[in-house]
Amino acid sequence: MNHVMYERQESINRLLSHSEPFRVRYTETFKNNIEAAGYCLVAPKRDCSPLIYFDDWCEGSDEEIVSFLTEQFDKYSLNNVGTVKDFLTSGNVLDQVLPKVVSAENIPSLEKNHILFCPVLNMAVTFYCPIEMPGLKENKASVTLTKQMLSYIGKNEVELFFSAIRNAEADCVIRPMNELITELGMNVSEFENDLTMYVITNKSRMYGASLILSKKLMEKLKQALGTFVILPSSIHEIIAVPCKKESDLAFLAQMVEEINASEVDPSDRLTDSIYLWKDNRLQVWENSDYSL
C-alpha cells in the first residue's frame, strides 16, 4: 500500500469538493503481473470510473495533483460514449474483445479482483475491450472484463475466448528479426543466425503475446520455419525461433529465464517457459527428456 497517497485522499477530496464533480478513492487492483495502486476518479451516477495509477505526479502539491487529476477526468470521462453497461449490452463486445495473457501465478490475484479469465497451460487469459475516447489521439482506455459483466454480455467464457483470439489475429504483426536489427542501426550480417527468427505482436504493441494462442498463426509459422520454439519475450510480444536440435531447448529455456530476471520489467514478464507447437497443439517444454 502507498500509505502517503492513501492518507492524502482526505485533503485532495477537500479541494475537489470546492469545484469539481468527482472525488478520489484509493484503489489497489491487478495490472499485468503486479498489484498496482492509484486513485479512482469517482463521480455520481456513473458505472465506470477512470483509474489513474500512481506515478511521478504524486510528488506534486495537493493543488498540483488536483489540477492533474481534473485534466485526466476530463480526458477519460465516459460522458460522450455512454455507460459501460450500455457498451456491454450493445451486442458489439464479441467484435471488440481482445485477449491478454499473464502467468498462471497471477490467478489468485485475478480471483481476488473478480477478473474473468481462462487458464491455458501455465498462463491465464484475461479479456479487455478498448474504449474509444473522443478527443484523444491515442486509444489508451479499456475495460477489463469481470465475472459480473458476463451477465450483461450474455455470452460465456468459451465464446469470449474464441472471439478474442479471432480479433487478435486480425491485428497480428509478424516481422523478421533482421528488419528490427536494421531499424536499430545494426549490421544484419553480425546476426546471421537470427535472420530466420520472427517477432510477433500487434499493431499497438500492447499485449501481443496473446497471439501465442492462435492456431492459425502457429500453423503459419510451422510452414515458414519447420520445427520451432516460441520464446515469451514479454506480455507484449513473442519470438518464434527455428529449432532442429533437442539440445537447443535447454539453452533457450535458460536464456528466457536469465533475460526475464535481468532485463524484463516484472510487470511485463509472461513466463520463464519456452513453448513448442507439436501434434497440432501448444505445449510447454519442461525437461531435457522432451523430444522434438
pLDDT digits (tens, 9 = 90+) for 206-217: 999 999 999 999
Please tell me the total count of domains within the chain. 3
Distance separating alpha carbons of residues 41 and 51, to the nearest angstrom: 6
Place of cell 518464434: 240
DSSP 216: H
Report the pLDDT value the prediction gives residue 78, as an integer from 0 to 100.
57
Final residue belonging to a domain, choices 44, 76, 108: 76
State whether 278 and 184 are in the same domain. yes
Final residue belonging to a domain, choices 169, 192, 216: 169
Report the pLDDT value the prediction gives residue 244, as an integer from 0 to 100.
78
Q: What is the mean pLDDT of the chain?
A: 85
Is 114 or 92 the better-scoring residue by pLDDT? 114
State whether 207 and 267 are in the same domain. yes
* Structure confidence by residue, pLDDT tens digits, 202-248: 998 999 999 999 999 999 999 989 889 999 999 999 999 998 788 78
State whether 214 and 163 are in the same domain. no
Final residue belonging to a domain, choices 41, 76, 111: 76
State whether 254 and 270 are in the same domain. yes
* Structure confidence by residue, pLDDT tens digits, 22-50: 999 999 888 877 788 999 999 887 767 78
State whether 57 and 119 are in the same domain. no
Distance separating alpha carbons of residues 39 and 97, to the nearest angstrom: 26
- Structural domain that includes position 213: 171-285
* Structure confidence by residue, pLDDT tens digits, 53-112: 999 999 999 999 999 999 888 877 655 545 667 767 667 788 889 999 999 999 999 998
Report the pLDDT value the prediction gives residue 279, as an integer from 0 to 100.
87
C-alpha cell of residue 261: 530476471
- Amino acid, res. 285: W
Report the pLDDT value the prediction gives residue 133, as an integer from 0 to 100.
60
Q: Which 3 state secondary structure label does DSSP give 229?
A: strand
